[in-house]
Copies of this chain bind each other. A is one copy, B any other.
Amino acid sequence: MKYKDMLGRAEAVTVEQAKEIFYASFKAPTLAAEDVPVSDALGRVLAEDAASNTNLPDFARSSMDGYAVMSRDTFGATESLPAYLKVAGEVKMGEEAKVQLLKGQAVRVSTGGMLPPGADAVVMLEYTQPFGENEVEVARPAAPGENVVQPGDDIKGGQVIIPRGRRLRPQDLGALAGIGVTAVKVFRRPLVAVINTGNEIISADREPMPGQVRDVNSYNLAGLIQQAGGEPLRLGIYRDEYAPIKKAVEEGIARADIIAITGGSSVGTGDLTAKVIDGLGPPGVLVHGVSVRPGKPVIIGMAAGKAVFGLPGHPVAVTVSFELFIGPLIKMLSGEIDPLGLAGIPPLRVVMARISRNYSSAPGREDHLRVALAKKDGELWARPVLGKSGLISTLVNAHGTVVIPLEKPGLEKGEWVEVKLFE
């Protein structure tokens, strides 16, 4: 089923409908895994369960500076009626505690030190007093296990400590190191081919002739891809000619996981993206045109099982279409499993602010409004950064986006809005 709608000549599908149409056809592949050192694995997604083959710790440790004791030797001890224990030695940090603790004895131990055999608790240093040559006064009872980390208390041998699909955080790297894992299998980052089209586009390092403009979109798009956890594969700038663009898209399909083409997504004479996608074999173009502003002339297609996006050439429309369709797909392909859906709450950093002027939005269209934030009288105000979606400066001067839903006719000055901050 193909939805063709551009230039207002038919009813465009909504963002939600566009996603439904796409995901009804698309089957997400599992990306290959690669080995990386744990010290380089921050933010990568684990490709297999990490289990410990050992207890952490694998010996009982003190969690305080104090004296290792038999707890029953301290029962009933108070400041006025302390227990007196014989100091039988000291456990050195990092060394095996070899001295067997006997009834009536205490052994000096530091935080993290090994508990000597026979001891079952640690009395904190501040509840003790040296007494005479070789004794210690204990002013409080210690319960069995008090101030002791038992073997496996942190991580049990055999236990999966980090499941496949977890995006690795600093503490996860620490835990992996703690169980002796210094390299892990992580999913390859989704590779996104970036193809820029337009006779007027030249490389950013060239001097434009009249009628030419430098490439803005591939830089913006590559940055968005990196932020979403993907890796950009820039395939270059192409003139509006069918064969070379098709060849570039075929290269993208062969090498990358997702293909993003900027420019030529509308229905004008020079707009070849839809033809190219349809020329790659079924299903081809699935969606052409979405009721969103800016970004309406977006194309969502599929070829050889891979998603192929045709994005409008306007920079702001590139950003909006990316955030709606490509960013979420990169996250899905990354292999990250998020059973609670927490990654999406909130999907990005948001702030509440009051809108600084009335703004009207056509009903039946999801409006993505760029805003700049400023504090005034202690309140945060969001000023719409107006301007055509072809202007990259409207994005540069904005702090974030306010989404006005399909059915809402606009915003009233002073109204509170949720501003999704740019990352």
Interface residues of A (CB under 8 A from B): 7-9, 38-39, 42, 56-59, 61, 63, 65, 91-97, 110-114, 125-126, 149, 153-155, 161-162, 169-182, 198-201, 204-205, 207-224, 226-227, 239-240, 266, 268-270, 313, 315, 319, 340-342, 345-346, 349-351, 373-375, 380, 387-388, 390-393, 395-396, 399, 421-423
Contact = CB atoms under 8 A, between A and B. Distances in A.
Given A112-B390, A204-B178, A388-B149, A222 B93 contact: no
Given A59-B210, A65-B268, A169-B223, 11 more contacts: A93-B240, A94-B198, A154-B390, A155-B392, A170-B220, A171-B392, A171-B395, A174-B220, A174-B315, A178-B215, A182-B205
Nearest to A41: B223
Contacts of A97: 210-211
Nearest to A227: B170
Given A211-B97, A270-B110, A204 B226 contact: no
Nearest to A225: B170
Contacts of A58: 208
Contacts of A224: 170
Given A169-B423, A393-B154, A174 B112 contact: no
A154 B391 contact: yes
Contact of A94 (B111, B211, B216, B388): B211
A356 to B, nearest CB: 14
A180 B204 contact: yes
A212 B396 CA distance: 53
Nearest to A206: B180
A205 B223 contact: no
Contacts of A63: 388, 390
Contacts of A91: 211
Contacts of A154: 390-393
A175 B216 contact: yes
Contacts of A169: 223, 422-423
7 contacts: A114-B210, A171-B315, A171-B319, A177-B204, A180-B205, A342-B399, A345-B380
A74 B254 CA distance: 50
A169 B125 CA distance: 52
B392 A174 contact: yes
Contacts of A65: 266, 268
Contacts of A399: 340, 342
